[in-house]
Structure 1
């Protein structure tokens, strides 16, 4: 667990379950029913993320609060929508005086012009529910998330992460897990066992401190880094949860490739925050890594908690202009210099700072020289700016592929440039599709342990 103590000021007493779901009509009802058996849970929200089956109908039939995305927007967006729906429900409850409201005991006297008594809101009922995120395919095992709820409601943990047992049929390569684990450790000094575990119970104060979320499958990595860097107590809790495992077929490998892409992008967003290493750690790091660790420019202590969680951390922080207006002006000027890059959307202030003093014209030329169709996401550009784009262009052009790569393919391949050309199985005819080639690159990276 992390060494910080509980930081949430007002402890929650109730929990809302949020279940992102896509095409889970066969499993969602069992998951909802099992989640309701968790002590402390009094609300279940299902976010149907663009399903083409009856997921929404089945969830509503199971008496869950259901909200539906018309198109698939990804896991992070579904989590954010679920949390927003919980907040809306709580606002409505407060407007009604709360669950324990009694007209005889709590209402203000009737007054002229009002159709009924005004509720007196009990301040004890205004503490927001904690959020418990569950996978839609957990079925009857969902109630095994009880230890996470207990840790948050009773123990004072701010973010409890489920440690799952080995999953039947799982065929993971480990590269995504190791990338996320090492990235979190580099950024915070804490090394989780299961950094990609999506089953988490989080206080609302912690949740709000972690906004905005990283996109897609990078959301867990981002949540962990943001919670720890804000001083919250994060703890991994064993839980006998089970869900459908990702296989080893091409579809499964492409899923992991998408995970890897999003984790890399999430880590790129957090590049400005890194722990100061002790001298012995620094020597060990310098022996085996090519990445340079910047000298700390400003060091601030991390808030400490109770005596059994009081190990102090220090953090390296990128300097910024002194005032908010100066920071905004600096970011806007820098954003204008990056406006012509092949990017969809605008760079955030953090992303413009992460790009530093990179030559925008040179970066633009290198990005446009890649055999890629489509524009990059801003955080993709932040990552690619620190890679050898000329080597990446040569690798992509020389690949035995029919058609052009997508920006997502380019980011995944860029993260493994040190790996040689992947071996193409004899059973796989060439030319390959960009998806197939990217999957083989990920396989080669696993074999070489290129992290």
Structure 2
């Protein structure tokens, strides 16, 4: 656990379970029934994230509140939808008065012309439910999350994270876990044992402080960093939970590659750049020892846009130069404004040359400011060639281009058996990450 104490000011008394699910018709009912056994739980919400089976019907049959995404939007989006549905239910209960609602008779009417019973609500504040996120495939083991709920409701923990026992059939390579762990530790000073554990109980106040969520499989990493950075109390709690493990087949390999891609994306968004993660961590007892250390990439040397005059300068002239520099950088294909640190990082870069190189990439959309800083130090001509040769249908997103740029030092991926071109840009980005892992392991 981290060294902080509880920060949430209004302690919750009830818990809502949120279960993101996709094609879990065989397991979802057992998971819901087991979740209802947890003391403090009075609401179960299932978010069907684009299932093609009977997940929604089975969940409704088990008396869960079900909301359905028409297409798969990813874990983070499903979690956000579930939390929103709980907030709607909390709001509706407050509007109806909730448990504190009662009617009283008054000798004098409060409203002219009204002498009948008037509603009165206890002045105490209704605290929103805490959120308990569970995997849909946990089945009868879901009730073992009781310890997380107790930590939040009774102990005052703001976010409790499940420490799971070894899962039968798991075949992970460890690199995703180590990358997330090192990133969280660099950002906050806290070293989690299981940084990717998705089973978490979190107060509404903590949840709101962690918005916006990182997309996809990076959501757990961003939740930990944002909660800790905001001063909330985060604690890992042992829980005898079990779920379907990811194997070594093609599906499992692509899943882990996508996880690594999203974790790197989450860390980059939290200003903890991919470059910071390339240092080798010290071995941890019980872990696999392979280390991901991408080869240094050649970079395009971008000429300075202007030479600073020699000798001392006034603060006013420095501010004027900074203002002109920001105006120049604003013409780049960037979504948002550069911070002072990012502006200084791009101080010696020819903005026109960088702009032309970025626009030459087969990418749709604008880059985040911190992505531009990262890309300015890479070989953008080489990246353009790599993206142009990719057997994909469509153009890349800025996020996918950044992930591929971070792996230019590794061989181009080979399409695994069963996957025929053209593939989607997202599949290609996942394969690039997986190829980097395989190159290091070999």
User: Which interval holds the TM-score relative to the shorter structure?
Assistant: 0.7 to 0.9
Name the structure 1 match of 2:434: 442
In structure 2, relative to structure 1, the CA distance for the partners of 1:10 and 1:367 (3 Å cut) is same
Task: Compute the displacement of 1:365 (Å).
Answer: 2.7
TM-score (norm 1): 0.74
Distance 1:80 1:176 in 2: 23
Distance 2:50 2:112 in 1: 49
1:261 aligned onto 2:252: no
In structure 2, relative to structure 1, the CA distance for the partners of 1:339 and 1:114 (3 Å cut) is farther
In structure 2, relative to structure 1, the CA distance for the partners of 1:413 and 1:232 (3 Å cut) is same
Distance 2:66 2:109 in 1: 37
Name the structure 2 match of 1:414: 405
Task: Compute the displacement of 1:265 (Å).
Answer: 1.4
SS state at 1:16 partner: strand
Name the structure 2 match of 1:392: 383
Name the structure 1 match of 2:59: 59
Distance 2:441 2:339 in 1: 31
Task: Compute the displacement of 1:414 (Å).
Answer: 2.6
Name the structure 2 match of 1:295: none
1:347 aligned onto 2:335: yes
Q: Residues 42-441 of structure 1: matches in 2 within 5 Å?
A: 42-99=42-99, 101-103=101-103, 117-124=117-124, 126-271=126-271, 337-338=329-330, 341=333, 347-348=335-336, 355-356=342-343, 358=346, 360-370=351-361, 372=362, 374-375=364-365, 378=368, 381=372, 383-393=374-384, 406-407=396-397, 410-419=401-410, 421=411, 435=427, 439=431
Task: Compute the displacement of 1:177 (Å).
Answer: 1.4
SS state at 1:160 partner: strand
Task: Compute the displacement of 1:121 (Å).
Answer: 2.4
Task: Compute the displacement of 1:145 (Å).
Answer: 0.7
In structure 2, relative to structure 1, the CA distance for the partners of 1:251 and 1:203 (3 Å cut) is same
SS state at 1:416 partner: coil
Task: Compute the displacement of 1:374 (Å).
Answer: 4.1
In structure 2, relative to structure 1, the CA distance for the partners of 1:248 and 1:8 (3 Å cut) is same
SS state at 2:19 partner: strand
SS state at 2:137 partner: helix
Distance 2:377 2:9 in 1: 40
In structure 2, relative to structure 1, the CA distance for the partners of 1:10 and 1:404 (3 Å cut) is closer
Give 5+ residue unaligned stretches, structure 1. 274-280, 282-287, 292-329
For the 8 Å contact 2:375–2:405, the answer to whether it is kept is yes
For the 8 Å contact 1:132–1:202, the answer to whether it is kept is yes
In the alignment of these two chains, the number of paired residues is 390
Name the structure 2 match of 1:320: none
Task: Compute the displacement of 1:118 (Å).
Answer: 4.2
SS state at 1:84 partner: helix
Distance 2:435 2:386 in 1: 16
For the 8 Å contact 1:210–1:223, the answer to whether it is kept is yes
- What's the CA shift string for 1:320-361, capped at 9, x where partnerless? xxxxxxxxxx99x959955652xxxx7245x76674353554
For the 8 Å contact 1:109–1:117, the answer to whether it is kept is no
- What's the CA shift string for 1:180-236, capped at 9, x where partnerless? 111111111111111111110001111111111111111111111111111111111
Give 5+ residue unaligned stretches, structure 2. 274-280, 282-292, 297-321
Distance 2:21 2:160 in 1: 21
SS state at 2:121 partner: coil
Which has the larger Rg? Answer: 2
In structure 2, relative to structure 1, the CA distance for the partners of 1:189 and 1:257 (3 Å cut) is same
Distance 1:40 1:429 in 2: 46
Distance 1:430 1:70 in 2: 26
1:36 aligned onto 2:36: yes
For the 8 Å contact 2:403–2:429, the answer to whether it is kept is no
Q: How large is the Cα RMSD of the aligned pairs?
A: 3.8
